Amino acid sequence: MKIIVDAMGGDNAPAEILKGICAARRFGVQLVAVGRVDEIQACAKAENLDLTGIELVNATEVIEMCDEPARAIRRKKDSSLVVGLRMLAEGQGDAFVSAGSTGALHVGSSLIVRTIKGVKRPALASVIPGAKKPYLLMDCGANVECRPAMLEAFGVMGSVYMNKVMGVASPAVALVNNGAEETKGTPLYKEAHQRLKANTAIRFVGNIEPRDIPSGDADVVVCDGFTGNVILKLTEGLARSLLGMVKQVMMANLLTKLGAATMLGGMKQLKKKMDSEEVGGAPLLGTARPVIKAHGSSKARGIENAIRQAVICVENDMVGTMAAALAQTAPADEEEE
C-alpha cells in the first residue's frame, strides 16, 4: 500500500507535514511526500528528521489558500496538490492526503481523480464528537447547492464510511431539518427525505433537528454544504466557548481551583475528545480513490492520523463498497450542474 502526502499544503508545511509522515511509518505502508524536494530536504535537516524509506517526488509549485481553486488547478499543474492527485489517478498510489486548500482539493479531485459512478461531486465529511458517540456530518461545505439525489448519495456514502472506517455495525442515517416530521422543510429536503426513506442500502431514521445533532443519536447527519458548514463552524465555536467558560469557573478562586485539580484527568480526556487532531482529517467521499483533507492548521499528530485514516480506507475497500452501495441507488439527476 502506498499513501501519497502533499508536503507543501497547510499552515505548518513542510515541517509538521514531514514530522507526521515520519511518525506514520509505524503503519507499515509506503509513504510518498510530494513537494519542493530541495525545501523538503533542507527542512528535514533543520528539524533533524530522518526521511529514510520515504519517497520524495518533486513539485515546483504550491497552491496557496488565497488562490481561486479552479484557476489554480488549471494553471499550477506542477503544484504538490495537482501532482499528488495525478499520481493517485494514474495508480501510483492508493490514497492521497493534503492539508492544503479545501476548494482546490475538491475541484482537483473531481477533475483529476474523478468520481464513483452515480456521484456528481464529492462531498466533504467530518467526524464530530457527540455526547454519546461521534457522528459524521456531510456535506461540510464542498457542495453549497444540492439536489435531492445528491443528498441521498451523501447518506449512502456516509453510511459506508461509518461502517468501514469507524466500525459502526449498522449506521443510523438522519437528514437535517427544522422538524422531525417528514413533511417539514423545503421541497429539496422533502424529496430527499422520501428518497432516503426508500433506499434499502441504508438505515434511515428520519429527520433530525439541529438541537439533537450533538447528542450523537445519529451516526450520519446529511445536509447540503451550506447548512453543514454553518453547523460545523457553530459547533466548533460553541465547543471553544463552553470549554473557555468552564475554565473560567474552575479558575475563579482557591476553592474552585482545588475542585479543578480533582477533575484534571477528566478534563484532559474531554479536551482530547474534542481535539480535531485525533481524527486527522475529513474524507472527500465520492472520489474514485480515497482522498483525505487534513485540517489546514494540522500539526504532526493530525497528519499522522490523517494517514492512518487513509490506510483504513484502503484496507477496508471503502471506495469499492461505496460504489456497490450506490449502484443500488437510483441514478442522480441527469441535468448538469
What are the tens digits of pLDDT across the range 187-219?
999 999 999 999 999 999 999 999 999 888 899
Question: Residue 334 domain-assigned?
Answer: no
Whether residues 158 and 73 fall in one domain: no
- What is the DSSP track for 127-196? EE--SSS-EEEE-SSS-SS--HHHHHHHHHHHHHHHHHTS--SS-EEEEE-SSSSTT-S-HHHHHHHHHH
How many helices and strands (H and E) does the chain possess?
13, 11
Question: Residue 333 domain-assigned?
Answer: no
Whether residues 42 and 80 fall in one domain: yes
What are the tens digits of pLDDT across the range 264-302?
777 666 666 555 566 668 899 999 999 999 988 899 999
Whether residues 35 and 148 fall in one domain: no
Whether residues 162 and 230 fall in one domain: yes
Whether residues 253 and 310 fall in one domain: no
pLDDT at 331: 53
Domain that holds residue 27: 2-120+286-322
What is the sign, positive or negative, of the torsion defined by CA atoms of 164, 157, 178, 281? positive
Instruction: Report CA 250 to chain centroid distance, whole Å.
Output: 34
Question: Residue 336 domain-assigned?
Answer: no
* Strand pairing category for 281-285 and 291-294: antiparallel
Question: Residue 327 domain-assigned?
Answer: no
Q: Is the pLDDT of residue 33 over 50?
A: yes
pLDDT at 333: 47
Whether residues 238 and 128 fall in one domain: yes
Q: Is the pLDDT of residue 335 over 50?
A: no
Cα angle 174, 177, 179 (rounded to 5 degrees) comes to: 105
Q: What cell numbers appear for 190 in the block? A: 422533502
Long-range (24+ apart) CB contacts under 8 A made by 12-17 are 12/99, 12/297, 12/298, 12/299, 13/99, 13/100, 14/39, 14/40, 14/43, 15/43, 15/46, 15/47, 16/298, 16/299, 16/300, 16/303, 17/99, 17/298, 17/303
* Average pLDDT, integer, range 322-327: 89
DSSP 79: B
pLDDT at 240: 78
**Least-confidence region, from 2-11, 23-32, 254-263:** 254-263
Query: Which CATH number is 305's domain given?
Result: 3.40.718.10
| CA-CA-CA-CA dihedral for 325, 114, 94, 169, to nearest 10 | -20
The whole-chain average pLDDT of the chain stands at: 90
Q: Which residues pair with 6 in a beta bridge?
A: 34
**Least-confidence region, from 89-98, 127-136, 182-191, 277-286:** 277-286
Percent of the chain exceeding pLDDT 70 equals 93
Whether residues 116 and 132 fall in one domain: no
Whether residues 106 and 147 fall in one domain: no
Q: What cell numbers appear for 164 in the block? A: 468501514
pTM of the model: 0.85
* Average pLDDT, integer, range 21-25: 96
- List Cα–Cα distances, 62 to 2, 6, 214, 317, in angstroms: 22, 10, 37, 31
Whether residues 138 and 200 fall in one domain: yes
Rounded distance, CA 277 to CA 297, Å?
9
Question: Residue 330 domain-assigned?
Answer: no
Whether residues 146 and 207 fall in one domain: yes
What are the tens digits of pLDDT across the range 34-90?
999 999 999 999 999 999 999 999 999 999 988 999 999 999 999 999 999 999 999
Whether residues 127 and 271 fall in one domain: yes
Residue where a domain stops, chosen among 238, 255, 276: 276
Question: Residue 337 domain-assigned?
Answer: no
Whether residues 149 and 258 fall in one domain: yes
Number of domains in the chain: 2
pLDDT at 272: 61
